[in-house]
Each structure stands twice: as C-alpha cells, then as structure tokens.
C-alpha cells in the first residue's frame, strides 16, 4: 500500500488531477527501458522483444477495462484519446447524421471537440453538425430520461463520463447506454479507471494513465468491434490505424502494470477512503460556517469530495492550505489567473467561488485527514477576516431578528459591484442584505460573468429568493447586468 502522507513534506490530496507514480509503474518503467526500447514494428530480436512487451501491456489493460486486446489503442494522453474517439466516431457514423450529444459536465476535452464540431456545419456536406447538451441536477448527475430525450434520429454519437472529475458524481452510464440503442456511446473513464469497475454498454472508452499512477503521456482509446470509426488523422500503420506515430513502449508497459496493481489495491482501499471522505463531508459543514458540500452524497467515487465556502476566493484558500502543508485543488476555475467559472459547478447551479476539491490517494492516512480538518476552519476564517462580514447566527436567532423587521416599502436597494470580480459581488450582497426589510429587493450591478452563477447559488444557500436578471441600464448601470434578490428571512 502506498502512503499519502507526504511528498516533499506536503500531504498530497489531489490525485484527481494526477496521481504520484506508483512503485510498480516505476519498477516496470525501469525494466522496460532496458528491454523495450526498440521499434516494436521490426522483426529483429530487440524489436520482437518490444512487441511482446507492448502486446502483454495491451492484454493487461484490456483485461482490467473489460474489453478485447485488439480493441485497445494507446494514445499520448487521455485528452488525445477523447479527441480521436469523438472525431473518429462522428466521421464513421456520418451516414446517420452529424448530431452530437453530451452532458453539461463533461471534461473540457469533450467540450472543446464539441465546439469545433458545431462550428463546422455549413456548407452542406462539410464535417460538423449540431450539438445538444444534456443538463444535470444539483448533484451533477444527468437523468437517464433527459439523456434519452436529447437523442435524435440523426444522432451520430453520445458522450457521457463515467464519473465527474470535479465532484466525483457517478453517472448512470448503463441506463444511458440502453437509451442510446444503436447510437454509439463514448464513455470518458479517466477518473474511474482502476478504481471501480468500468460500466457496461459503451461503444468507445477513454482513459488516462497518470490518473491511476502510471506515467504521464499514456492514454487509452478502446473502440468496440463493429463500431464504425474513421480516423480523423492521416493514415498510419501503428495502433490499428487510430493513433499515428511511434509508441512509447516503456511508458505503456509501466501504465499497464500500475493499472493492474491499483485495481487490485482498490478492492481493499475503496471502503477505507469512502469512510474518510464521509468524515470530511460531515465535519466540514460543522466546523466552517457558510459551507456547502457538493456532488452526489451516495452515487460518487470513494475518494473525491468538493465543498464551497461562501465569501472566499478559492485560489487564496488553496494558497493558505499549501502553506499549511496540504496540496488540494479548486473545484472551480474561477481564480484571479483565469477569471473563468467552472462549467461543472455552473451547470450544477452551485457556487463557483471558494471551492476546494480533496481527492485522496491510495494509502491516505487518517491522521492527515484529521489534521486537514483541524487547520481548515482557521484558514477559512483568516481569509474571510478582512471582509468584515457578520456571518449568520443560528437559525433560532435569525428567526427572532427577522420577525421584528419592517415590511418592504417597494424601494430597491442598489449595490454597484461593476468592475469587481468574484467573489466580491456576492460579498457585497451579503454585507447589505441585512439593511433590507423582509420582502424588499436588492439589485446587484455586476459585469463579472461569475455573478450570473454565484448570486442564484448564494440565494439557494441562504434561503433568499432570486428574482431574476434585468438590464443594468434599468438601474443606472452602463454595462453588465442587474441581479435581483428578494429578502425572505
């Protein structure tokens, strides 16, 4: 069992981004560098040796993923596997039509490919076609009925991840596959491969070795026999014609060895990690005020938990956690470096600010989880301290205060947050909402796109009524939008 205690004295809780190289992978890589360096397409002895190692690795990966060895092709990354899988399946099924279906919470590699596909529509006969995006619930899960409703007679490909990379929610892949019928279904299994059984019913499957402790630079594309597939790239004799270029045999051997090892470890580790994640899910809201744990509480991967802290910049909190010795990631891309909200959290309708994703490695120590829970409240409080916020009192006190509030007079309280980036518009709203009588309305002027997502999410968390969006000009603004909130408590 590997220890998640420390890497350079830092507790590493970010395996959803990339896992440390598994010891088995390191051993296999070292051996394969000596034995598998030659061109596996050549007939001389060293070439045949490399070919034997490559074939054995393909058999191993196929066995774990539940497919045939000749259905497996190795790519340079999970992202490349998604790109090739989607474009190849769409090209191969062009006779059916050009319609593509995917969920709203897919990995960015799916979204980027879909965007390209949608922009390649006319003229008639050109590659490309319409794209339908299936919404998710507040847990980040598609409904099988909603997925089925998005399918059309001209649907050439459907895409659904096995589990979400930001919140860990497991998708109903088997039900979606049944709804697809003869429409090919591509399943992105990057987060689940090696940890849990691969769901059945897929036509194409993608995965990434560095997610399970293999070396970076190895992806997997599996295409079932009988699935129509046309490579979107120029023809090449390697990897069944699906992936051009020279294969990295030593890295592939290491990836296969580590996949087999982590799958064996998962049988005993998943239950333990599930218990640790349950502890985080339960304790964080008890220890830190104004926190929401996101993702499906039941149908989820055993090692991932994400929570959202109101009034906190996620990047700042991650920096503080790093200083305290914890490597975690943000469930949101809404940081000062990108200014782009997470599309996953936005689709779920939860906060895109102040998010922390903890993903535990195999061997994660209970003591490290306890220390994380011990330092987190103080760090969040420190980040919030300069804001001067009065965080809400217990429910009984809030009820007593709001009962004495005057009724609204119909006047709208204006908050000008133009030019301010997330989470500042929400912070301004939280500071001023207490000035408004029950039934009164607040109009928040903001031009940060994240406000469109975070203000409704804040209302959901705080029990206030989100009354919609209006043109900023209606409230004296020269840009952005006005977000209307009606005080209910």
Catalytic residue among 309, 334, 422, 459: 334
Helix (H) or strand (E) holding 452: helix 451-462
Contact partners, residue 169, CB within 8 Å, separation at least 6: 105, 139, 140, 141, 163, 295, 296, 299, 300
DSSP 428-470: HHHHHGGGSPBT-EEEEEE--TTHHHHHHHHHHHHTPEEEEEE
φ and ψ at residue 476, rounded to 5 degrees: 85, 10
Rounded Cα distance, 254 and 70, in Å: 19
Name the residue with tokens 């919404």.
135
The 8-class DSSP code of residue 169 comes to: B
Interior angle at CA 157, CA 99 and CA 146, nearest 5: 80
* 439 CB-contact burial (10 Å; exposed 0-12 / middle 13-18 / buried 19+): middle
Handedness of CA 135, 140, 146, 150 (dihedral sign): positive
Rounded Cα distance, 88 and 67, in Å: 19
Name the residue with tokens 């218990």.
275
Give the residues across from 206 on adjacent strands.
188, 221
C-alpha count within 13 angstroms, C-beta hemisphere, residue 462: 30
Q: Which two tokens stand for residue 4?
A: 């998640």
Q: Which two tokens stand for residue 263?
A: 């799958």
Rounded Cα distance, 255 and 298, in Å: 30
Q: Is 459 a catalytic residue?
A: no
Rounded Cα distance, 55 and 42, in Å: 14
Distance in angstroms between the alpha carbons of the first and the last residue of the chain: 51
Residue among 471, 83, 174 nearest 73 (CA): 83
Rounded Cα distance, 427 and 319, in Å: 20
Rounded Cα distance, 417 and 420, in Å: 5
Rounded Cα distance, 382 and 418, in Å: 26
Q: Which two tokens stand for residue 5?
A: 């205690």
Rounded Cα distance, 251 and 245, in Å: 15
Helix spans in 70-107 (H) = 78-92
Q: Which two tokens stand for residue 333?
A: 């891309």
φ and ψ at residue 365, rounded to 5 degrees: -85, 140
- Which residues are tagged catalytic? 334
């Amino acid at each position: 069992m590997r220890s998640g205690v420390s890497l350079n004295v830092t507790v590493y809780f970010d395996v959803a981004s990339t896992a440390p190289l598994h010891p088995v992978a390191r051993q296999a890589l070292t051996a394969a560098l000596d034995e598998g360096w030659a061109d596996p397409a050549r007939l001389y002895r060293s070439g045949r040796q490399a070919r034997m190692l490559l074939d054995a690795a393909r058999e191993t990966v196929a066995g774990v993923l539940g497919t045939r060895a000749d259905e497996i092709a190795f790519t340079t990354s999970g992202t490349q596997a998604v790109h090739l899988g989607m474009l190849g399946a769409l090209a191969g099924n062009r006779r059916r039509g050009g319609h593509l279906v995917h969920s709203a919470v897919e990995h960015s590699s799916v979204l980027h490919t879909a965007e390209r596909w949608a922009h390649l529509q006319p003229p008639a006969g050109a590659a490309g076609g319409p794209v339908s995006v299936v919404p998710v619930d507040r847990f980040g899960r598609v409904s099988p009925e909603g997925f089925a409703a998005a399918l059309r007679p001209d649907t050439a490909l459907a895409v659904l991840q096995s589990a979400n990379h930001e919140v860990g929610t497991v998708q109903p892949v088997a039900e979606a596959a049944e709804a697809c019928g003869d429409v090919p279904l591509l399943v992105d299994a990057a987060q689940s491969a090696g940890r849990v059984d691969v769901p059945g019913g897929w036509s194409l499957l993608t995965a990434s070795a560095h997610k399970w402790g293999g070396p970076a630079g190895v992806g997997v594309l599996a295409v079932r026999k009988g699935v129509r597939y046309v490579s979107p790239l120029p023809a090449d004799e390697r990897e069944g014609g699906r992936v051009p270029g020279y294969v990295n045999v030593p890295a592939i051997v290491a990836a296969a060895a580590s996949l087999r090892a982590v799958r064996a470890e998962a049988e005993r580790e998943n239950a333990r990690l599930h218990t640790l994640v349950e502890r985080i899910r339960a304790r964080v809201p008890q220890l830190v005020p104004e926190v929401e744990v996101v993702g499906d509480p039941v149908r989820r991967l055993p090692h991932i938990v994400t929570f959202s802290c109101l009034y906190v910049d996620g990047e700042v909190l991650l920096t503080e956690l790093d200083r305290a010795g914890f490597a975690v990631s943000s469930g949101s891309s809404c940081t000062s470096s990108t200014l782009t909200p997470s599309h996953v959290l936005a689709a779920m309708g939860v906060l895109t600010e102040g998010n922390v994703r903890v993903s535990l490695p195999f061997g994660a120590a209970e003591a490290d989880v306890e220390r994380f829970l011990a330092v987190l409240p103080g760090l969040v409080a420190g980040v919030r301290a300069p804001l001067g916020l009065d965080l809400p009192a217990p429910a009984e006190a809030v009820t007593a205060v709001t009962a004495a509030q005057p009724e609204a007079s119909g006047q709208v309280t204006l908050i000008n947050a133009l030019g301010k980036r997330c989470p500042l518009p929400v912070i301004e709203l939280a500071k001023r909402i207490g000035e408004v009588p029950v039934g009164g309305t607040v109009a928040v002027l903001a031009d940060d796109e994240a406000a469109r997502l975070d203000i409704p999410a804040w209302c959901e968390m705080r029990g206030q009524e989100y009354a919609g969006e209006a043109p900023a000009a209606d409230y004296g603004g020269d840009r952005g939008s006005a977000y209307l909130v009606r005080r209910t408590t």
